[in-house]
A and B are shown apart, each in its own frame.
Chain A
Amino acid sequence: MKAGRRYLRAFVSGFLVAVPVTVTALDRLAYVARVEGASMQPFFNPEGGSECDVVLLDRWSVRNYQVQRGDIVSVVSPKNPKQKIIKRVIGLEGDFIRTLSYKNRYVRVPDGHFWLEGDHHGHSLDSNSFGPVSVGLLHGRASHIIWPPNRWQRISPSLPPHRGPLETEEEEDG
């Protein structure tokens, strides 16, 4: 009986340590998520079908909301706060973007926002449908593909060809 009580106490105190530490690690350090859907083909889920890629989301590097153009990020969907979407950052605040299917042909990304697009244009619910996304919705940066094992890789930022901010002439003040 005494051994059972001692075991129970050890279990409860271990549980009380493990749960806050795990929750904090998932909130602040890293998160693991499955990428579903075809909006980022061919980068994620190139074959479609049943096997979905699983990615490691780095939450520590976005704690100050610093992202680069070409990063793949997960954000909370502006249309549905219970859902997260994974897209590529095409433009940051101040950039001029030539949109694909948005209501305006050219858009200046407002302060505190960024422009997201899925690699599979036409099959992607992204900034081309709901406009620039507020950086406050940023959840994490996809840093590695960790499943399936034959697709293990580190994800580095890269803009797709012909998708990027328009280069404007910078006025140099002497």
Chain B
Amino acid sequence: MVKALNPASVEMFRQVLGKTLGFVGYTIQYGCIAHCAFEYIGEFVVCSGPSMEPTIVNHDIVFNERMSRHLCKIEKGDIVIAKSPFDPHMNICKRVVGLEGDKVCTGAPSDLFKTHTYVPKGHVWLEGDNLTNSSDSRNYGPIPYALIRGRVCLKLWPPHSFGTLSESPTKRIIKNQNNSD
């Protein structure tokens, strides 16, 4: 038999339902704002691995800004975070040494005869600053531009090296190329 609910408990149920819906609504709204911020403005990234030493070392926290990538304004010499071409769940942090159309040096600096190649359309050539201990485009070739997630613009941790990141120490970037934008 259905027992009639007394007005007080109906009222309490309506209040709880109203608060729950309000809570869910706010969660969805702030979750979406957070998604937009991380996707279009920037995100914090913890780096690991030795491939970008001495510019970025293990356990550094950097700020990866996304706007340059969406506006296609990544430039030669920028440090970028990109999806690994061999595992889309993993990210790699390297420096852009060549944009599409650029000439890049594929061998080691100590080679007698330097081999060069041109970066194909829609791709970039990435190299770590720590050339001896970095697996990058010298191993797997240029990667598509769209795998880039963003440009690292600021180092946040550790506090003694807070600030913007320095230029490439490796002198592998071939400047003065005639490129149209």
Contacts and interface: CB of A to CB of B under 8 A. Distances in A.
Interface in B116-166: 120-123, 143-147
A134 B83 CA distance: 10
B154 to A, nearest CB: 24
B87 A20 contact: no
Given A113-B85, A136-B84, A136-B85, A80 B121 contact: yes
B57 interface: no
B72 A82 contact: yes
Q: Taking chain A's interface residues, is the majority helix, strand, or loop, or is none over half, making it mixed?
A: mixed
Nearest to B37: A20
Contacts of B40: 23
Ranked 6 nearest A-B pairs via Cβ: A136-B83, A136-B88, A112-B86, A76-B146, A24-B32, A20-B32
24 contacts: A19-B36, A20-B29, A20-B36, A23-B35, A23-B40, A24-B31, A24-B32, A24-B35, A25-B32, A28-B35, A65-B88, A65-B89, A76-B144, A76-B146, A80-B122, A81-B72, A81-B122, A111-B87, A112-B88, A113-B86, A134-B143, A136-B83, A136-B85, A136-B88
Given A24-B31, A78-B122, 9 more contacts: A20-B32, A20-B35, A21-B29, A28-B35, A65-B88, A80-B122, A134-B83, A134-B88, A138-B88
